[in-house]
Amino acid sequence: MKLLGLFVAGACLILAQQPAAPSAPVPTTQPSPAAPPRADALRDVSTSLERLSRRVSRAVVQIFSSGYALSEEGGDGTNTAVVTRQRATGSGVILTADGYIVTNGHVVSNARQVRVRVAAEMAGRSTLQPAGKMLNARIVGIDRDSDLAVLKIEKTGLAHLDLGDSDGLRQGQLVMAFGNPLGLENSVSMGVVSSVARQIKPDDLMIYIQTDAPINPGNSGGPLVNVNGRVIGINTFILSQSGGNEGLGFAIPSNIVKNVYAQIRAEGHVHRSEIGISVATITPALATGLRLPQDWGVVVSDVEPNESAEEAGLQAGDIILTLNGKTMENARQFEVNLYRYKVGQKVSLEVQRGPTKLTYAVAVEEREDDPQRFADMVDPDKSLIPKLGILGIELDAKIVEMLPGLRKKYGIVVAARAGESAYTGDGLQLGDVIYSVNTQPVTSVDALRAALDALKEADALVLQVERMGKLLYLTMTME
């Protein structure tokens, strides 16, 4: 299906009908009629879009989640947060005939129940479509770094879509966004790719496809598809001053989705990748100071001892020319591209060291200090510690193995944030291990909650925590 070609053909036909400026006197004889235009050109485009929409819509689902979260206001007039019921709706796309679905993580975060409405099987072509069937869904896993989640429904023979290659996207290509904006089931909009790789925050490893296809709240988790009906992105958020669509929609590229989806299906969580180096973008000033042969690109600023990059032979000062054959132009590009590779894979780095070009095969390793890895292990019903605004999990043999070298064999790991803390002062960080409250050891989440509840409003709170191998005292007071 060559929609762009049809659009061009239609435009040429329209232009062909415009009268040209005369360069000679108009003859008195009537000219022979021109060949009839292809009046069906735009109709062909419309029919192609209709067929594509019908095929894709069958694999798009509406998601309803409910759970509990901390409200920002206390129910008794104090600053203590309270737990309230939370509901969310969004979209998703079926990727397998047996019911695996990809959506956004924020659609199902904190959810205790998730239900999915699948498209109804259409026997005819009624304008008013019947409501689809509601099914219970299981959360296979959530990856908060990429804001992706995988769900599973117990049904077979489902219409599904394939993930495309987002690296092949080009600015200006036609795309269609599917989903349930503002709860309006089974909606579609069309636009173009505004940017193939947009980075929203300077320190964010994620990049997004930017599109002007209208996206609104409720589209989150729905597919962004190309003219071949392949999913090239998962619609995620918009930038807006009014709260509505302003032509600035963003989708997670399908090649990132592939990696996250495969890991969650296999293990329930995602391993973060690194090779044990720090890199910097080469600027003219940096090139002059270090006497580098080029004033752009990526230079290795540090090689960590006993990591895969050192074992492969990389050195500080090496200029990284390519990663798996792709030219590296800046440090952020290098980090974003490395982010996609799975733990255990090897990447090929071509580097320049002085006048010599060298190639190294470097094994991708798991980022061991990722504090987000505990978030998928919490049970919101049991892990909530509202006065600290966190979700905590107790140390057990599995977690101790993940945190080698801990000073003590008991304590509570700060696994996730769950609202505002009732205390101000020194803040907790993800991955902290809480050992005591005002010298009283805490060996369970219940014990931590009880110790906090026993404090009076005027009492100071001192937590002993371990952070990155060091013991700290955190002092806090009630707001």
The maximal CA–CA distance of the chain, rounded, in angstroms, is 107
Please indicate whether residue 106 is annotated as part of the active site: yes
Quick one: DSSP state of residue 389? T
CA separation for the pair 100, 76 (Å, rounded): 43
Please indicate whether residue 269 is annotated as part of the active site: no
CA separation for the pair 253, 262 (Å, rounded): 15
Catalytic residue, chosen from 91, 106, 146, 194, is 106
- Helix pair angle (3-16, 41-57), 10° resolution: 160
Catalytic residue, chosen from 220, 254, 308, 436, is 220
Burial class (CB in 10 A: 0-12, 13-18, 19+), 30: exposed
Is 9 in contact with 38 (CB distance < 8 Å)? yes
Catalytic residue, chosen from 65, 91, 109, 147, is 147
CA separation for the pair 402, 383 (Å, rounded): 19
Is 168 in contact with 193 (CB distance < 8 Å)? no
Please indicate whether residue 220 is annotated as part of the active site: yes
Is 259 in contact with 275 (CB distance < 8 Å)? no
Torsion of CA 353, 354, 357, 358, to 10 degrees: -30
Residues paired with residue 462 on neighbouring β-strands, in sequence order: 475
User: CA nearest 434: which of 403, 402, 473?
Assistant: 473
Kindly list the catalytic residues: 106, 147, 220
